[in-house]
Amino acid sequence: MMKGIADWNVAVFGVGAAGRALSCALLGDAGVRSLRIWARRDEAAEEFCSELSERTGGEAELAIRAYASSDLAGAVTGVDVVFLCVVDDALAELASEIALAKPEVVPGAVALHLSGYAGTRIMSSLAEIGFATGGMHPLISLAGATVERPRSVFRETHFALGGDRLARERARELVTALGGIPLELAPHESARSLYHGAASLLTGGAVAIFDAAERMLDGAVEADAVTRRAALMGLLQSTVRNLETGAASDILTGPIRRGDQATVAGHLDALRALAKNGEAGGSASQTEELYRQCSLAMLELVRRRGDLNSEDLDRIADLLSGRSNNT
């Protein structure tokens, strides 16, 4: 009879943000009772296990154990699922080291990485010793994830799944147990790169744009940094709520959406003045370029709707591209 998730022996390799968040959720949401922790630094694994034991109240039925960095075979022997929660550059090396340690691999054992970019070939050495291999990437920003949040970190989070059939099946079971939502990657070669590119563009791009907006607002309002940040956070949150109600082209607002060339020109003038005065931390020219490129992307959203005069939009495009006499 196939074991339920609570009876799985699970090993987590890596105690960075992803490994910590996953370990907490495995215990708190999935109900895993046997968890092995491995890290490059023995003290890091031991400290994290102590934190987990303290947070779970030292429940007798839980087996949480740290393994020495030299005991790769012990950490993996007999496990049902092993998670490699390390940076992409370290995945192949770690997988190879585990294989060279010659652990006892139980039938049906699965090895999963949490990388959004790497495929499963990077774990080929584990496949050669009997593991089904796959990927299970959480589409969530884990910066700041801590052991203080042992539950619900992954609830309603989409996970991109790929790899062998058995690995995907196990990953799907785990995602469901964590309260997440499985997201199957397409089978073509560029699928994972496109998926990860989209995720990186959104989360990293949003942070970069927020930073630029903060610097622009710095010289525009008489308020401290905390207040300025709170004001922009409120605007960002309202935009997210709008995105939940419709397509990007439908909820876009602002001067680009209205075809307001004069306002766009005013924005560019103000940004050039910042650069001239050496304000915005010396990066005003970079902020201006970001404004131009993002505005051109907004312009394409407006063109999709087809409800504004195309010549007016062409003039705004010329302005943003530096082809207008106004720039």
Per-residue pLDDT at 1:
44
- Quick one: pLDDT at residue 62? 76
> Do 215 and 245 fall into the same domain?
yes
Domain that holds residue 28: 5-185
In a domain, 220, yes or no: yes
The pLDDT of residue 282: 55
Q: Are residues 281 and 148 in the same domain?
A: no
58 belongs to a structural domain:
yes
Which of 126, 159, 185 is a domain's end point? 185
Task: Indicate if the alpha-carbon torsion angle 210, 245, 158, 295 is positive or negative.
Answer: negative
**Domain for residue 19, yes or no?**
yes
Whole-number pLDDT of residue 3: 77
Q: Does one domain contain both 159 and 233?
A: no
Count of C-beta atoms within a 10 Å radius of residue 192: 21
- One domain, residues 213 and 267: yes
User: Is 42 in the same domain as 134?
Assistant: yes
Residues with pLDDT less than 50, the chain: 1, 147, 149-150
Domain boundary among 185, 206, 222: 185
Tell me, what CATH number does 107's domain have?
A: 3.40.50.720
Q: Give the total number of structural domains in the chain.
A: 2
Residue 211 and residue 64 share a domain? no
The Cα–Cα gap between 248 and 242 comes to: 9
Same domain, 35 and 173: yes
Residue 99 lies in a domain: yes
Q: In the prediction, which pLDDT does 325 show?
A: 60
Rounded to two decimals, the pTM is: 0.84
81 — alpha (psi -120 to 50), left (phi > 0) or beta? beta
pLDDT, residue 150, reads: 47
Q: Is residue 190 included in any domain, yes or no?
A: no
**Rounded CA gap, 281 and 26, in Å?**
43
pLDDT given for residue 273 in this prediction? 86
Q: Does residue 326 form part of some domain?
A: no
Indicate if 13 and 55 belong to the same structural domain. Answer: yes
Instruction: Count CB neighbours of 111 within 10 A.
Output: 32
If asked whether residues 275 and 212 sit together in one domain, one would say yes
Domain-embedded: residue 327: no
Same domain, 177 and 204: no
Residues 299 and 151 occupy one common structural domain: no
Q: Are residues 200 and 265 in the same domain?
A: yes
Q: Tell me which of 150, 185, 220 is where a domain ends.
A: 185
| Per-residue pLDDT at 235 | 96
Q: Convert the pLDDT of each residue in 57-102 to its tens digit.
A: 766 567 899 999 999 999 999 999 999 999 999 999 999 999 999 9
